[in-house]
Structure 1
Amino acid sequence: MDLPRSFSIREGGSRILNPFDEHKLATLGRALRLPAGSRILDLACGKGEMLCTWARDLGYTGLGVDVSSSFIADADTRARELGVESRVGFRHDDAAGFVHDPEADVASCMGASWIGGGPTWRDSVTGTLALLQRSVRPGGLLLLGEPFWKLRPQSEEALAACHAQTLDDFAELPSLLDHFADLDYDLVEVVMADEHSWDRYAASQWLAIRRWLDANPDDELHGELRTELDASPRQHLLHQRSHLGWGVFVLMRR
């Protein structure tokens, strides 16, 4: 049970594995307005930067779960670096179907709603929110990091550059907001990525891949990642940057 090795190579230079920078992540933590000691479950937690920095700066506690053994190892290291290993923990496990006991104050899934299953964005969002809801106390918060179409692609090239097979792979923002309401959730806070934070996330992958390619010319993944680096900057700058939005939506069950 693990992610392909290419994921850890691609994310080798990143601590936040989504289109947020450290300022937006800090803004989100403060926006929750929770007391110190509040407990968070973070599904598909990546390298644990959210839990570690919020524990350091805001006194939150929590558990992160991720299917990547290398990400979990990095998260454990980060917790020790920041001196918060007594307040946060990390578990190598499949986030899909994972339920927290005891109930948390916050349950989050930041950019990995595929854990909810289903062929369309509606199915994934519905399944992920249902899973998160099982782990929070009454009145608890759900954090959903989700991409959406800022501008609908008008060409197959643009669609493919956004790693989508059909337009229904991502929601348009009005449809996503309507879906939250249909599922009986109030949207109570939001922090959005912007083009700068998208650039930082995307470009850090290019540099990580290039440095890995230089250091590993004979690796079996060299050809695959060389092809990715050839395409990724153009895809991001010409298409992803203008077509895709991303935000963290803070929700409460009505």
Structure 2
Amino acid sequence: MDIPRIFNITESAHRVHNPFTPEKLATLGAALRLEPETRVLDLGSGSGEMLCTWARDYGVVGTGIDMSRLFSEQAKLRAEELGVADRVNFIHGDAAGYVSVEKVGVAACIGATWIGGGVVGTIALLAQSLGAGGIILVGEPYWRQLPPTEDVAKECHAGSISDFLLLPELLASFGGLGYDVVEMVLADQDSWDRYEAAKWLTMRRWLEANPDDDFAKEVRAALTSEPERYAAYTREYLGWGVFALMPR
């Protein structure tokens, strides 16, 4: 069980596998007013930066599940590095359908809503683990401005324009599901740059170290095309944020 190899390569040096910086993760933790011993479930936990730093800074405890073997191992190493290995647990596995035995104060899926078949299904899945008074966190893209054509939407790695909503529409959709939006922290162009541009140096270093790998042609194609594609499309049209929800 693992994610596609291209992600394990391009994001192998990332601590945060979405358009957030460590500073924005800290802002999110502070915005949620986390109390010590708050139990956190993180579906699609990546390299564990959110759980590990929140355990260090706010005293939370929690569990993360991720399909990437590499990222799961990096998460465990990060927990040891920050001295919180006794407070957080990382599982290499499929988070789809995962429900916590013990109810949690924060149930999160940050940028991996495919786990529940989309936003609606992921919120429904997270709700099964949520305790009374708890908060659901969903990380999701939205359009900063509507792409003028379907081709432009596809250059943003969307299937079509209808895949994402404008920010006001996305916020309204949470209300339609019976949730109050109680906080949000949004990526900006700088944090998008740190997420996307960091991949390019990683790809270049990987190519230098693995010139004869069968996958080198695909990595080379990505490195050649991604800077221009990102600057022309994703950076201009696609937003991303984490939204905190509480059931009404």
TM-score under structure 2 length normalisation: 0.98
Contact residue 150 and residue 160 of structure 2 kept, 8 A: no
Paired residue type of 1:194:
D
Cα deviation for residue 182 of structure 1 reads 0.7
What is residue 161 of structure 1 aligned with on the other side? 155
State how far apart, in whole Å, the 2-side matches of 1:233 and 1:156 are.
Answer: 21
5 Å-filtered alignment, 1:65-214, equals 65-117=65-117, 124-214=118-208
What is residue 244 of structure 2 aligned with on the other side? 250
State how far apart, in whole Å, the 2-side matches of 1:240 and 1:145 are.
Answer: 16
Contact residue 52 and residue 78 of structure 2 kept, 8 A: yes
2:230 to 207, 228, 236: 236
* 2:2 paired with 1:2: yes
Count of aligned residue pairs for this structure pair: 248
State how far apart, in whole Å, the 1-side matches of 2:116 and 2:167 are.
Answer: 19
Cα deviation for residue 174 of structure 1 reads 2.1
Q: Deviations over 1:19-39 (max 9, x none)?
A: 000111001001111211111
Change in 2 beyond 3 A, CA 1:76/1:112: same
Cα deviation for residue 231 of structure 1 reads 1.1
Q: Deviations over 1:185-225 (max 9, x none)?
A: 00000101000000000001111111101110111110111
Cα deviation for residue 155 of structure 1 reads 3.5
State how far apart, in whole Å, the 1-side matches of 2:86 and 2:123 are.
Answer: 28
Q: Structure 2: which 5+ runs fail to align?
A: none
Cα deviation for residue 175 of structure 1 reads 1.9
State the SS of the aligned residue for 1:42: strand
State how far apart, in whole Å, the 2-side matches of 1:81 and 1:157 are.
Answer: 44
Cα deviation for residue 139 of structure 1 reads 1.4
State how far apart, in whole Å, the 2-side matches of 1:232 and 1:161 are.
Answer: 10
Paired residue type of 1:174:
P
Paired residue type of 2:152:
A
State the SS of the aligned residue for 2:108: strand
State how far apart, in whole Å, the 1-side matches of 2:150 and 2:98 are.
Answer: 36
What is residue 19 of structure 2 aligned with on the other side? 19
Q: Structure 1: which 5+ runs fail to align?
A: 118-123
What is residue 53 of structure 2 aligned with on the other side? 53
5 Å-filtered alignment, 1:27-66, equals 27-66=27-66
State how far apart, in whole Å, the 2-side matches of 1:231 and 1:154 are.
Answer: 21
Paired residue type of 1:34:
L
Q: Deviations over 1:98-135 (max 9, x none)?
A: 00110010000000111111xxxxxx111000000000
**Cα RMSD (Å):** 0.9
Contact residue 150 and residue 161 of structure 2 kept, 8 A: no
State how far apart, in whole Å, the 1-side matches of 2:234 and 2:35 are.
Answer: 37
* 2:221 paired with 1:224: no
Cα deviation for residue 170 of structure 1 reads 1.4
State how far apart, in whole Å, the 1-side matches of 2:55 and 2:23 are.
Answer: 15
Cα deviation for residue 157 of structure 1 reads 4.4
TM-score under structure 1 length normalisation: 0.95
Q: Deviations over 1:83-109 (max 9, x none)?
A: 100000100111110001100100000
What is residue 121 of structure 1 aligned with on the other side? none
Cα deviation for residue 244 of structure 1 reads 0.5
Paired residue type of 2:94:
D
